[in-house]
Amino acid sequence: MAADCIFCRIVQGESPARRVYENAHVVAFHDIAPQAPVHVLVIPRRHFASVLELGEEEVEILKGIQGAIRRVAEETGVARTGFRVVTNCGRDGHQTVFHLHYHILGGRRLGWPPG
């Protein structure tokens, strides 16, 4: 856990979040600044600054992330209509919170390319 990380505080229950799903490896909650009607973040309970810190030894965490994405998509209704999964990495990738997180975006037609 990184002491100054808002997502670590959410995992620990020290900061509020509208949780929608959790399992042994991840927590999923609504984004506070949604960019689509459905905008949920899936984060690992363990602190990784970005996707670049995950290694093959974290296969169980990756399974937990994938399972959470599927469950959130089903429970929010976007599994039927389509959705996007995004993780930003680094400054140029527009990562603003340096705790690995995946955005699940849906509930409307999403354009391509993104911004």
Active site members? 101
Among all chains, which residue has been given the structure tokens 């927590």?
A: 27
83-86 and 26-30 as β-strands: parallel, antiparallel, unpaired? unpaired
From 59, 98, 66, select the one nearest 85 (Cα to Cα): 66
